[in-house]
Structure 1
């Protein structure tokens, strides 16, 4: 009898040790369920945004998430979930502006970001991230509290400096905070070397027509006189192209059509060596998408595709590149297609793409999506399977296309 009791005690102890020595316990629930659970258990939510093709994601999952010391922090403080950013996690990835992998998003139970970081991390650093997120949520300088105060603190230079500094610490874009601070600060003379160094330090967050851009332009010659050779080069690129690039990226991130138009106007003034890296027609398409003007959007896509065909006739662009463009523009156009004439145009583009005899799986995929939107599910699945059978195994889009097939078979939206 004593031996049996002892055996049971040993088994219990081993089980307890194994349980306490686990890594992060990721729960197989939706984000909405995780938020509800976090609210009831007075915890935060940790999301690991990953993709199936991301090597650093796999490394973190194997070498960091599994460590007992990591699990001790994350299981105590968080409801932990993993979301594939190209599949079921796509809506959340868009909402929280996730565009690199892995990205770690820490939320409070209201779904607001507390902290956000990305990339491979050493175990100690990753544990500290978890602790910092908890500390920041409980602080007077929590992201949520700072963002709530920001609209009413536009004249408070001290607050604004704390604000944009904390945004950077929390993995957020500090553009609006920096611009607001520059408007009211009086601790740095605008023509001084310290201001030049400040602008260069935060050069990724200065936009066209902002206070930072105004200071840069007004004092550019003075800065060039006091700059080192390296700084001179940075200043030239900053003035000529980075302001426009920052504006483009921020306008797209914030879905701001007015800001995007500002970028487009500046694009036309760029030196030719930089303009070659962009496409004005493509930018017009994005502009109308941001405006949610479907009629103008479709018209611009049609103009773009017409220009592709002209380029092919002139031999300026390789067939493979044209098929890639037809595929991406066709998929985008399909989202707005709502008439027989729209579908007929798409069918014509697909036919043209097949004739180019390059990457036919892309046209199979577009055909599949076209059939699915028209309600012809059986045909859609047939073409999607045909596309996947020939899809390059090393293409990052492959997993997303497989997910689309799964959704089609379930009758879900893609």
Structure 2
């Protein structure tokens, strides 16, 4: 009896030790369920936004999340969930502007962002991140409290400086805070070297129409006089940087007015800075942001038809063959797997493959807005052209699959999606998204 009791107690102690020694307990809950549970348990929610192709995500899952010291902090303070940002977590990823992986997001029980970080984190940093999220939530400088105070304190330079600094710490955009601070600050003269250095430091957060841009324009000649040679080059590129920031912000916020501001600024740039831009593509994006589907389709058709008419298939093939021969000769002594993969891409036709990929991307957006047989015919013609190019055939098969699926021909769609996947390169991160799309198609077929 004593031995039985001893054995029973031993099992209990071993079980308790095992529980306390576990890593993060990721619960199989939706975001809504996790928020509800966090409210009841007086905790925050921790979300690991990942994708199946993300190598740092896999490293975190394998080496960081299972550690007992990590679990000790995260299981105590958070309801922990994992969301695939391209599948079941797609909606939440869009809501919280998740654009890189892993994104480590901390929310309060109302769904407000408390803390946000991205990328692979060493164990001590990751533990500290969790502790900082808890501290931020409990402090007067939590993200939620700062955002609540921001509209009320537009004339408080001290607060605004804290605000934009904390936005950066919390992984949020400080653009509004920096702009507001520059409008009211008396700390630095606008024509002073310190202001030039401030603008350089925060150059990724200065957008068109902001106070920062106005200061740069008004004092540009003064800054050039006091700048080093390196700083002169940076000043020359600053206007391009501002437009890039404006473009990125407009796209992230889906703001057509801001996108129009970017387009107008782009048109005024010196020609040497406009080489990589494409005004037609910018107009397409503007139409999409305005939800002007008709204009978007007209511009897309014009773009793809122009792309097709630029060179004959023979010219494209001959150019690709010459480029492959040149590359093969220069790399003939290398046995690296990466070099082998690159050479194979050139052998398959790098230029042709680039055109096919571009057609695929633009035609997918066109397909989402198709509402007539003539428009379906456009897509069929583009696919036929892509087939003739003979490169990256999986793109055209994928486009066929999606076209047939939209037209209700599920069986054909599944066959072409499988055919696309059979040839889709394993290294391409988009492949997992195509696998997920196939599962949705197959689910539709079962329902029918």
By the TM > 0.5 criterion, same fold? yes
Instruction: Report the Cα distance in structure 2 between the residues aligned to 1:397 and 1:324, rounded to whole angstroms.
Output: 12
Instruction: Report the Cα distance in structure 2 between the residues aligned to 1:311 and 1:29, rounded to whole angstroms.
Output: 52
TM-score, structure 2 as length reference: 0.89
How far is 1:156 from its partner?
2.1
The answer for the alignment partner of 2:298 in structure 1 is 299
Contact 1:312–1:322 (8 Å) recurs in 2: no
Instruction: Report the Cα distance in structure 1 between the residues aligned to 2:201 and 2:3, rounded to whole angstroms.
Output: 70
What does the per-residue CA deviation read over 1:194-236, in whole Å, with 9 as the maximum and x for residues that have no partner? 1111111100000112110110111112112222333222222
Instruction: Report the Cα distance in structure 1 between the residues aligned to 2:103 and 2:44, rounded to whole angstroms.
Output: 16
Asked whether 1:12 is paired with 2:12, we answer yes
The answer for the alignment partner of 2:426 in structure 1 is 393
How far is 1:111 from its partner?
1.3
Instruction: Report the Cα distance in structure 1 between the residues aligned to 2:219 and 2:9, rounded to whole angstroms.
Output: 77
The answer for the alignment partner of 1:257 in structure 2 is 256
What are structure 1's unaligned runs of at least 5 residues?
none
Q: Which moved more, 1:281-290 or 1:304-313?
A: 304-313
The answer for the alignment partner of 1:236 in structure 2 is 236
How far is 1:346 from its partner?
1.4
Instruction: Report the Cα distance in structure 2 between the residues aligned to 1:411 and 1:356, rounded to whole angstroms.
Output: 32
What does the per-residue CA deviation read over 1:302-327, in whole Å, with 9 as the maximum and x for residues that have no partner? 11111111223395793211110111
Q: Which moved more, 1:246-255 or 1:28-37?
A: 28-37
TM-score, structure 1 as length reference: 0.96
Contact 1:312–1:319 (8 Å) recurs in 2: no
What does the per-residue CA deviation read over 1:108-157, in whole Å, with 9 as the maximum and x for residues that have no partner? 11112111101111111111111111111122221112212222322222
Asked whether 1:403 is paired with 2:436, we answer yes
Contact 1:22–1:71 (8 Å) recurs in 2: yes
How far is 1:82 from its partner?
1.0
1:1-400 equivalences in 2 (<5 Å): 1-239=1-239, 241-313=240-312, 315=315, 318-400=351-433
What are structure 2's unaligned runs of at least 5 residues?
320-350
Say which SS state the counterpart of residue 46 (structure 1) adopts: strand
Say which SS state the counterpart of residue 83 (structure 1) adopts: strand
Instruction: Report the Cα distance in structure 1 between the residues aligned to 2:138 and 2:368, rounded to whole angstroms.
Output: 43
How far is 1:272 from its partner?
2.9
Say which SS state the counterpart of residue 199 (structure 1) adopts: helix
Instruction: Report the Cα distance in structure 2 between the residues aligned to 1:45 and 1:340, rounded to whole angstroms.
Output: 48
Instruction: Report the Cα distance in structure 2 between the residues aligned to 1:411 and 1:159, rounded to whole angstroms.
Output: 54
What does the per-residue CA deviation read over 1:147-170, in whole Å, with 9 as the maximum and x for residues that have no partner? 122223222222211211111110
